[in-house]
Amino acid sequence: MNTIKTNQKSKALVTGFSSGIGLAYSKYLALNNWQLELVAQNPEKSEMAFNAIKNKDSTYHLADLSKPEGVQEITNKVKDPDLIIANAGITMFGEAGSIDKEARKDLFYLLCNGVIDLIESYVPNMVKKGKGRIVIISSIGAITPMPKSSIYASAKSAIYSYGQSLSQELSSKNISITVSLPGYVKTEAHSRAGLEHLREKIPSWMWIDAEKVVSETEEASLKRKSTVIPGKVYKLVRPFLGMSLSTSIWNKITKRNNKK
Ligand SMILES: NC(=O)c1ccc[n+]([C@@H]2O[C@H](COP(=O)([O-])OP(=O)(O)OC[C@H]3O[C@@H](n4cnc5c(N)ncnc54)[C@H](OP(=O)(O)O)[C@@H]3O)[C@@H](O)[C@H]2O)c1
């Protein structure tokens, strides 16, 4: 039987492509010959980012991934990705008891339950094909306390745990799951959360570039590692993060002020 050779590109689904880590990841994948299915919610930002990615085989979709309907819309439209970059997210600042129920629910869905809904809808097909790659952008907050960002930290921790378990479960099916735990990355995330002061407050050695997060995360994913902590500084401090002395130093350096 003759086999027909096609130049069909592999397909990657990237959520939160319109700025920061997601934009850097999308540019990287476009340069490496992927067909991209991109998701964000702001139309103007998305159009600008899409033009900057410059990839004629790509498409973008607008959806609010903090709602189950938004995730469902995407899983209905985007079929059978070979690679999923579950990156979309915001950070949220607020004392315990000050964030209303709806906002807490949306944040947790965006960072955790929605990522699970997205991944679970594509996994059966990956298993059928006998291959696939999944990257989840969690946060160093998954493994260290973040006072006044407790909802964010707990959602990132839960999705980290999900990814770790899935990684073990699916490794025998040739599907890799890598959870990336970045520290402070220079993106729009902090200004969006009213945390501009962190730009000045956090020492420069604690900031890493989105491109660095992408290169180290992609390298770990290709090596089928289940976790990666991008940046030398964070790799060095990682063993001490749970200890009380280091936690109190960490919290002093990264203290989140009241917005007023
Ligand atoms: N920056 C850091 O220091 C840092 C550290 C650790 C982990 N992370 C994680 O990295 C990921 C990317 O964040 P970033 O730092 O690159 O921030 P960013 O520049 O603000 O980008 C966030 C992206 O997520 C999208 N997004 C946010 N809410 C969405 C929603 N409801 N529905 C659909 N898309 C939505 C945004 O699109 P729209 O603008 O259209 O909403 C944007 O494309 C997040 O999961 C974040 O928690 C960031």
Ligand 1 neighbour 87 (Cβ under 6 A): yes
31, 221 Cβ separation under 8 angstroms: no
Q: What is the mean pLDDT of residues 73-89?
A: 98
pTM of the predicted structure, to 2 decimals: 0.93
Q: Residue 21 pLDDT more than 80?
A: yes
Output the CA 111–ligand 1 centroid distance in Å: 10
DSSP states of 92-156: ----TT-S-HHHHHHHHIIIIIHHHHHHHHHHHHHHHHT-EEEEEE--GGGSS--TT-HHHHHHH
Per DSSP, the three-state class of 165 is helix
Ligand 1 neighbour 212 (Cβ under 6 A): no
Integer angstrom CA distances of residue 60 from 16, 40, 79, 189: 11, 8, 14, 21
Q: Which atom of ligand 1 is nearest to the CA of 187?
A: 19
Lowest mean pLDDT among 34-48, 91-105, 240-254: 240-254
Output the CA 68–ligand 1 centroid distance in Å: 17
State how far Cα 137 lies from the chain centre: 3
Integer angstrom CA distances of residue 4 from 8, 11, 53: 11, 19, 30
Alpha carbon distance 233, 212 (integer Å): 13
Provide the strand spans (E) within 11-82: 11-15, 35-40, 59-62
Ligand 1 neighbour 229 (Cβ under 6 A): no
What's the pLDDT tens digit per position in 185-242? 999 898 888 888 887 788 888 899 999 999 999 999 999 999 999 999 888 878 777 6
Output the CA 210–ligand 1 centroid distance in Å: 11
Long-range pairs of 61-68 with CB within 8 A, sequence gap ≥ 24 = 61/37, 63/39, 65/15, 65/16, 65/39, 65/41, 65/109, 65/110, 65/114, 65/118, 66/106, 66/107, 66/109, 66/110, 66/114, 67/106, 67/109, 67/114, 68/109, 68/114, 68/117
pLDDT at 212: 97
Ligand 1 neighbour 192 (Cβ under 6 A): yes
pLDDT band of 8, cuts 50, 70, 90: confident
What's the pLDDT tens digit per position in 128-178? 999 999 999 999 999 999 999 999 999 999 999 999 999 999 999 999 999
pLDDT band of 2, cuts 50, 70, 90: very low
Q: Residue 254 pLDDT more than 90?
A: no
**Domains in the chain, CATH or no CATH each:** 11-253 (3.40.50.720)
Ligand 1 neighbour 64 (Cβ under 6 A): yes
pLDDT band of 56, cuts 50, 70, 90: confident
| % of the chain at pLDDT higher than 90 | 74
pLDDT at 1: 41
Integer angstrom CA distances of residue 235 from 53, 77, 155: 30, 38, 22
Output the CA 219–ligand 1 centroid distance in Å: 21
What's the pLDDT tens digit per position in 187-203? 989 888 888 888 778 88
Amino acid at 131: K
Residue closest by Cα to atom 20 of ligand 1: 189
Output the CA 90–ligand 1 centroid distance in Å: 5
Ligand 1 neighbour 206 (Cβ under 6 A): no
36, 61 Cβ separation under 8 angstroms: no
Integer angstrom CA distances of residue 153 from 44, 52, 146, 167, 169: 29, 31, 6, 21, 24
Token duo for residue 138: 């969690």
pLDDT at 124: 98
Pocket test of ligand 1: the residue of 18, 48, 157 to mutate, having most ligand atoms within 8 Å of its CB, is 18
Residue closest by Cα to atom 8 of ligand 1: 139
Q: Which atom of ligand 1 is nearest to the CA of 140?
A: 6
> What is the spatial order of strands in the sheet that 132-137 belongs to?
59-62, 35-40, 11-15, 83-86, 132-137, 175-180, 227-228
Output the CA 214–ligand 1 centroid distance in Å: 14
Token duo for residue 242: 């749970």
